[in-house]
Amino acid sequence: MRDAYHEELDSIGDGLVEMARLVGSAIGRATTALLDADLNVAESVIAADEKVDEIQRDLENRAIALLARQQPVATDLRIVVTSLRMSADLERSGDLARHVAKLARLRFPESAVPRDLHSTILEMGQLAQRLVAKAGEVIISKDVDDALQLEADDDRMDELHRTLFQHLLDDRWKHGIETAVDVTLVGRYYERFADHAVSVAKRVVYLVTGEHADEIAPASPPPVAEGA
């Protein structure tokens, strides 16, 4: 039974990694759709999110079945419960990629993002994609240093978010209110996407060390958008 148990546990881990892969691809393509005003890519991201939701429901059911059949205790139990939490983070990340794609669709054939912000948004998109890829890796490796590194990488997202706000609040902003609203929301979506990747990494740290990541590494500064 223990073998069957560990096989099942591994397959839940594989499901999480697959979710991380899918949402990483989704945020990358959503960024393309947003900057290139590519309607087809936007539609594909919106449609693909259903798959992420499916995997999450499946993982939840399998985790519950595992708890019922194998009744794990101690660390094994914590791993299963933590997997449920990670799947929720990744599912939400998929929603955020979908929001970016929906905004691209809403503004088509225009880009919702003005030219002079493309490089900042592109970097936010690429960073978000890297963060969730790293999160997928630490789910497998359980490497605490790599997991903590993710939080440091997220500081860059906060910097980019501040850069976005500096543009928005610059007297020379000439793109009007609607674009300011779009850019505000897009910035928020990328920042939250990154937060969920960091959250996944923190749960790995907690699993391995029994300590919450914040007790080990200082948390990244709160983003401007939260009025901090």
Question: Which of 169, 211, 219, 221 touches a second copy by CB under 8 A?
Answer: 169
Q: Which residue has the tokens 């980019």?
A: 160
**Of 18-26, 102-110, 122-130, 150-158: span binding a second copy (CB under 8 A):** 102-110
User: Counting contacts by CB under 8 A, is residue 1 touching a second copy?
Assistant: no
CA 81/CA 102 separation, integer angstroms: 32
The residue length of the chain stands at 228
Closer residue to a second copy in complex, CB, 88/122: 88
Told to check if 227 binds a second copy by CB under 8 A, we report yes
- Contact status: 208 vs a second copy (CB under 8 A): no
Nearer to a second copy, 102 or 133 (CB): 102
Cβ atoms of residues 92 and 53 within 8 Å: no
Q: Report the residue from 23, 37, 103, 144 that binds a second copy according to the rule CB under 8 A.
A: 103
Rg (CA), the chain: 19
Spell out, one character per residue from 34 to 63, where the chain touches a second copy: x when CB under 8 A holds, - when not: --------------------------x--x
Q: What share of the chain is helix, strand, coil (3-state, %, to 5)?
A: 85, 0, 15
Least distance between a second copy and beta carbon 207 (Å): 12
Q: Does 105 bind a second copy (CB under 8 A)?
A: yes
Which residue, among 146, 150, 161, has the nearest Cα to 198 in the 3D structure? 150
State in Å, rounded, how far the first CA of the chain is from the last one.
Answer: 51
Q: What DSSP assignment string belongs to 30-86?
A: HHHHHHHT-HHHHHHHHHHHHHHHHHHHHHHHHHHHHHHHH---HHHHHHHHHHHHH
Q: Which residues bind a second copy (CB under 8 A)?
A: 60, 63-64, 67-68, 71, 73-74, 77-78, 81, 84-85, 88, 98-99, 102-107, 112, 165, 168-169, 173, 177-178, 180-181, 184-185, 188, 222, 225-228
